[in-house]
Amino acid sequence: MELTNELVLEAISREFPEAVVDSSTPHGLLTIELKKEEIKKVIHYLKESSYEFIFLTDICGIHYPDDKEKEFGVIYHLHSLINNFRLRLKAFIPKKNAELESITNLYSGANWMERETFDFYGIKFKGHPDMRPILNMEDLGYHPMLKEYRLEDGSRTDKNDAMFGR
């Protein structure tokens, strides 16, 4: 059986009728936005089903500070090696109580990816075995990828902005 975007989307919609919020196919890659409460169930289904999404390529965070209901997002990239099919899943959460369920019990590689997402964005993963910073110092005190910090150090005098098109 050859997997197609339509087939995978239809299967997820059938198995989890309330889970899908939106879907699109940018550059041909099926991208599905799911309710945060359903994301782990859908990932578990995709891994254990005949579609065999056995490889977790990546987990990353995103920050949209102007959208208070969907301020944080977590993106999962899954790959069915057997079917040579890639899939992107997204779940959005508000900044207050920014937490999703950990999928470390489904993919052991999620351990470091979830820690990195926590480290850079402050998104917690409930049930994670070791939720602490992985790349930043533990006493850093902030999450550097949030879009609430200036892009550049305003105190620098050694830069000529004309060289950077400004």
| Summary mean pLDDT of the chain | 91
Q: Are strands 85-93 and 72-80 parallel, antiparallel or unpaired?
A: antiparallel
Q: What is the pLDDT of residue 138?
A: 84
Listing DSSP states for 67-134 in one string gives -STTSEEEEEEEEETTTTEEEEEEEEE-STT-EEE--TTT-TTHHHHHHHHHHHH--EEET-TT-S-S
pTM, two decimals, is 0.88
Q: Are strands 20-24 and 30-34 parallel, antiparallel or unpaired?
A: antiparallel
Structure tokens at 63: 């920050």
Residue 163 falls in which region: left (phi positive, over 0), alpha (psi -120 to 50) or beta: alpha
pLDDT in tens, 80-139: 999 999 999 999 999 988 999 999 999 999 999 999 999 999 999 999 999 988 888 888
Q: What is the pLDDT of residue 147?
A: 83
Place of tokens 């070791």: 130
Of the pLDDT bands very low, low, confident and very high (cuts 50, 70, 90), residue 165 is: low
Contact between residue 57 and residue 42 where contact means Cβ atoms under 8 Å apart: no
Q: What is the pLDDT of residue 9?
A: 97
pLDDT in tens, 38-90: 999 999 999 999 999 999 999 999 999 999 889 999 999 999 999 999 999 99
Residues in Cβ contact with 19 at an 8 Å cutoff, skipping those fewer than 6 apart: 12, 13, 34, 35, 38, 41, 42
Q: What is the pLDDT of residue 18?
A: 95
- Judged against a pLDDT cut of 90, whether residue 8 lies above it is answered with yes
Q: Are strands 99-101 and 124-126 parallel, antiparallel or unpaired?
A: parallel
